[in-house]
Every structure is written in structure tokens, then in C-alpha cells.
Amino acid sequence: MGNYRSGNKYRVAIGLETSLGSGNTHSTGGTTPTLSVRWEDLTVMPVKLELSPDRQMIDTNYKTGTSQATAYEQVQGVTDGTFTLSGKLSLDYEILLKAMFHQTPGVGEDFAFTDTPPTAKSLVMMKVWDDAVVGSKYKVDIAKGCAVDSLVITGRSKEAIEFTLTGRLTDHQREIEQIITGSDPGLTFPDVVQFGDTAYSGNFGETNRLTEFSLTLTNVYIDDTKRYTNSRSRLRDIIIRQEGELNLKGLFKQETTELNPMDDIGVDMQLWESITLVSGTSYWVIDFYALVTAFDSADPDRDLFESNVTMKAIASDGVENSVSIQKY
């Protein structure tokens, strides 16, 4: 294809950075540490990565002496940009949970929202092209300082579970040579999670059957003036709040708990929703302590009525974690 690029000719590699915007995944430590990017610190995915760099423009309000636009009417301001990582979910993608929850739990510990916001972590994300590798140098498009705004996990009957990870970046370069040390895992194709293997235990519809769900987890940071301060690039990310929303759809039953929706919306009824994502012998258990925010009852014409409930995650007496995910 000459010098053209094909969307089918790259793999995604992402990992936690040693510091915001460094682009490195490993540090030897000490007073003069050696920084590097290692394959063992990266998760390789055959998914889609979209990078959208931006530069804020500042109006100068200069009198330019012409009725036509000129380059003097604006100057470059701060750097900014967004990323979107999306694809079919594999339970091998633990990096998604580490990036969203900003945690690295030990054995037997959970990823969880807690009373104290976590210290924000950032990612380096790369499109690794299939060009010939010379001396551990790979041709990549790279995004540094990637801070996760949200992780969305969705499932629908008869389909595979999907994920979308979105957020902000500090720097982006294309077609650069990046040294990545260690053993290259190559292009891998992990098992995807199928909705048909999902287990549900909750309070709505048939209480153990779903036709669809959508889990949205969100990080809320300090505002941009405090993230940038006197700098043209984002200097820091401090999380002030973490939020969760869960939408469930299933078949409506007459003996359900949804008979008094006007009374139930916004009231803590101590509802606990659990969804288990299964792939082979591995599984993630999603526990969600719920406060109902909306019921929807669309007319199905000649089909069966659905239970359609939207909830937000809340902490309460005796509930330390409004959202938690256990990985087995």
C-alpha cells in the first residue's frame, strides 16, 4: 500500500505511566533513575484506539486592518486532546480496571470506589504499526498522560460484551520510533466475554435474567484551571469523586418490585445488584449498591413489556463500596 496506513495494520499497547506525561512504564528508581517502556508492563489489544489532539486558541482582539481573517487574531493556548479505546471485552484486560479505579489490588482484594478518592494514575497508549522492527525500535503513534474519564461496559442478548474507555491526553505524536524492551507478545487474540455466559442477581424483571445492561463508571477531577495552573500542558489530575450508573433491561413481571415507581425513585431501598462476567474459568463479579433514578415503560406493541431501570451507585450505612469488581 505504499506509504498509506491501514486501520487493520496496528495493535494497541497500553500501560500505566511512571509519572503523568512521561510516556514511560518502568523506572529503576534511585536518584538518577533509568526510564523505559517494557512489553511486560503493557497490555496488547486487537481493538480500536482513536486519538484526537487539540490546541486551545486564545483570541488576541488585535485590529488587523483587513476584513479578512488573519493568523494574528488568535494565538496558541494550552494543549489538550481526547482518546477513545473501544472493542470487545476480554477478562485479560485488567488494565481497564487499573486505569478506571486507579488501583492495583493485591490477591483477594477488589477494585472499588471508596470514601477516600484514589491517587490518579495515567496511561501511555500506543498504536504499534506492523513495520519491521530494528533494534527494539517500533513505529508507533503515541499518546502520553492519558487520564481516564469514564469506562462503559455494555452487554446485549446474543452479542459479546463491549467496552469503551475515554479520557484526556497531554501529548500526542505520530509515526515516531519508540524503543520497547523485553519479549514482544505479538498480535494476540484473547477470548471475548459473551452475554450468554453472564449471570445476574438483582431486584428487577425476572431477577436473574437480563436482555441488556450498561454500566458507566466515571472519574470526576478538579476543574481545568487547577489541572493546568501556570502551564500550557495539563500538570496534574486530582480525583474528587467517583460515580457509577447502571441501566438494566429485562422482561417485566407482575409480581416485581417495580409497582410503585413514583415512590421508589430517589429512595434508598438498600438494593444490591450483581452482574458476573464469565469467560472460561475466569470471571469478574460486579457489585453495585443502587439508588433508582428512573423507570421506563415503553409500549412494546405486540411484544412483551420490558423492565427498564436506571440506577446510580451510592454509599450508605454499612456499605463501604458503592461499586466493586472482584476479579477471579
CA dist 179 and 134 (Å) reads: 9
Contacts of 13 (CB under 8 A, 6+ apart): 39, 42, 43, 44, 45, 125, 126, 128, 140, 180
Q: Which three cell numbers stand for residue 282?
A: 475466569
Report pLDDT for 316.
Answer: 84
What are residue 48's phi and psi, to 5 degrees? Answer: -100, 135
CA dist 13 and 49 (Å) reads: 10
Q: What is the pLDDT along the chain (328 residues), one digit of tens a residue?
A: 568 999 999 999 999 999 999 999 999 988 888 999 999 999 999 999 999 999 999 999 999 999 999 999 999 999 999 999 999 999 999 999 999 999 988 767 899 999 988 999 999 999 999 999 999 999 999 999 999 999 999 999 999 999 999 999 999 999 999 999 999 999 999 999 999 999 999 988 888 899 999 999 999 999 999 999 999 999 999 999 999 999 999 888 776 666 677 768 888 888 999 999 999 999 999 999 999 999 887 778 887 888 889 999 999 877 889 999 999 8
CB 79 within 8 A of CB 58: no
Q: Is 262 helix (H, G, I), strand (E, B) or coil?
A: helix
194: number of Cβ within 10 Å: 17
Cα dihedral across residues 159, 288, 111, 121: positive or negative: positive
- Cα–chain-centroid distance for residue 210? 23
CB 104 within 8 A of CB 310: no
Report pLDDT for 1.
Answer: 52
What is the rounded average pLDDT for all residues in the chain?
Answer: 92
Summarize pLDDT for 283-307 with one digit per residue, the tens: 999 999 999 999 887 778 887 888 8
DSSP 181: B
β-partners of residue 151 are 165, 217
Report pLDDT for 32.
Answer: 82
Summarize pLDDT for 146-160 with one digit per residue, the tens: 999 999 999 999 999
Contacts of 33 (CB under 8 A, 6+ apart): 27
Report the relative pairing of strands 111-112 and 123-129 from DSSP bridges: unpaired
β-partners of residue 112 are 324
Report pLDDT for 109.
Answer: 80
Q: Is 59 helix (H, G, I), strand (E, B) or coil?
A: strand
Q: Is 101 helix (H, G, I), strand (E, B) or coil?
A: helix
CB-based burial label for 116 (10 Å; 0-12, 13-18, 19+): exposed
CA dist 37 and 176 (Å) reads: 14
Q: Model-level pTM?
A: 0.94
Report pLDDT for 262.
Answer: 73
CA dist 296 and 132 (Å) reads: 54
CA dist 305 and 245 (Å) reads: 23
Report pLDDT for 240.
Answer: 95
Q: Is 314 helix (H, G, I), strand (E, B) or coil?
A: coil
CB 287 within 8 A of CB 319: no
Give residue limits of the domains in the chain: 10-56+75-327
